[in-house]
Amino acid sequence: MDERLSSGGDLSCAACHHPEQGFTSNETRTAVGNHGKILRRNSPSLFNVAFAAPFFHDGRQPELDLQPLETLVDPDEMAFPSLAAMVARVELLPEYEGRFEEAFEGPPSAERIGRALGSYLRTLLSANSPFDRWYFGGETDAVIPAAKRGFFLFFGGAGCGECHRVTQEAALFTDHDFHDTGVAWAGDDPGRYEVTHDPAHRWQIKTPILRNVALTSPYMHDGSLATLAEVVEFYNQGGFPHEGVDPRIQPLGLSEQEEAELVKFLESLTGDNVDELVREARSHAASDVSD
Ligand code: HEC
Ligand code: HEC
């Protein structure tokens, strides 16, 4: 979280991925970048990002170790003119002296800085939520009855689990795929199309992991929905219908009570180690490149 890792010396990863705001920015719809520029997309949460490949809302980056390097030289983000300039900055910072040699058997390089940041990101794991303790742990009282009914709606009638999948291997509430829910269409963001140039991918956005989702408002790739209740309402009224929208995005006819139950279920996905991850992130501030 070292702000000296930006060209102007004032922007850290935490400026957009605030640890105490779910590793995103709860107060802005889209990220605020270099010189206060309003960027077009919401900062995704970094909880469980180790499992969020391919990275970015449009999946343009397959490698977690390379993802931060893109941010470091993006003129609207950390804005180093080049990776060489970023490496030169790290070489000048006294507390990093010797640490790359120790950890990576060589002096700072773009590749090693990417690996250091990637290694840190891989530690941001957060599970053991009330949902896990109930569903996997068999603790009947870990979640309230409304959240249980929300779970059955999520994986039943409301069809959410078709895309926010849970499998034998992983309970991440994502299929690691891209879909057109209408949000990108409404906001004129080409989404996945920008990466593949396949017209079938127009307006498609990566299905986000929903763990800790109660902490990561605002929602959707453009932060256009402020609360979980608004997200559920969005799905219930059938998304933003248009040509090409995913056929599973349909008016759901949920009652107000069912909508509230879905929200209660989503609120049961908050892991038990969030405070610990926040404390850890802040205790390394400005002293550890892997922060
Ligand atoms: C100016 C705000 C800003 C800063 C500073 C910033 N990010 Fe981000 N980050 C974003 C936005 C916005 C996106 C999504 C961009 C997109 O999808 O096109 C993103 C995406 C990501 C992703 C992909 C997550 C996923 O689920 O696909 C990772 C990982 C990430 N950032 C890590 C970092 C790290 C590490 C740093 C510091 C080196 C950093 N970010 C600095 C705003 C920022
Ligand atoms: C067709 C696949 C699909 C279905 C069905 C679906 N989702 Fe989504 N969901 C997505 C995609 C893709 C996004 C990202 C959209 C964007 O960012 O523009 C998303 C975003 C979300 C978000 C926002 C997460 C964040 O971090 O911004 C929540 C919450 C959510 N969905 C819950 C649900 C619920 C509840 C249902 C059922 C009522 C549901 N989803 C049904 C694919 C789907």
Question: What does the pLDDT profile of the chain (291 residues) look like in tens digits?
Answer: 576 777 766 678 999 999 999 999 999 999 999 888 999 999 999 999 999 999 999 999 999 999 999 999 999 999 999 999 999 999 998 888 898 999 998 999 999 999 999 999 999 999 999 999 999 999 999 999 999 999 999 999 999 999 999 988 889 999 999 999 999 999 999 999 999 999 999 999 999 999 999 999 999 999 999 999 999 999 999 999 999 999 999 999 999 999 999 999 999 999 999 999 999 998 865 444 433
* 17 Cβ inside 6 Å of ligand 1: yes
Q: Could you identify the residue written with the tokens 């605030």? A: 18
- The CA-atom distances, in angstroms, between 291 and each of 41, 83, 92, 168, 280 are 23, 18, 17, 32, 9
pLDDT of amino acid 43: 97
Q: What is the largest CA-CA distance in the chain?
A: 61
Q: Could you identify the residue written with the tokens 């060209």? A: 7
* 61 Cβ inside 6 Å of ligand 1: no
First to last CA, the chain: 5
pLDDT of amino acid 285: 57
Q: How far is the CA of 204 from the centre of ligand 1 (A)?
A: 19
Q: Distance (Å, rounded) from C-alpha 85 to C-alpha 81?
A: 6
pLDDT of amino acid 169: 81
Ligand 2 atom nearest to 216, measured from its CA? 26
pLDDT of amino acid 34: 87
Q: Which ligand is nearest to the CA of 73?
A: 1
Ligand 2 atom nearest to 221, measured from its CA? 17
User: Structure tokens of 249?
Assistant: 């995005």
Cβ count near 216 (within 10 Å): 25
pLDDT of amino acid 1: 52
pLDDT of amino acid 288: 43
Q: Distance (Å, rounded) from C-alpha 220 to C-alpha 226?
A: 9
* 41 Cβ inside 6 Å of ligand 1: yes
Which pairs count as long-range contacts for 75-78, CB under 8 Å and 24+ apart, including other chains? 75/34, 76/33, 76/34, 76/37, 76/39, 77/6, 77/11, 77/16, 77/31, 77/33, 77/34, 77/39, 78/5, 78/6, 78/7, 78/11, 78/34
User: Structure tokens of 290?
Assistant: 């892997």
User: Structure tokens of 101?
Assistant: 């040699």
Q: Distance (Å, rounded) from C-alpha 41 to C-alpha 34?
A: 14
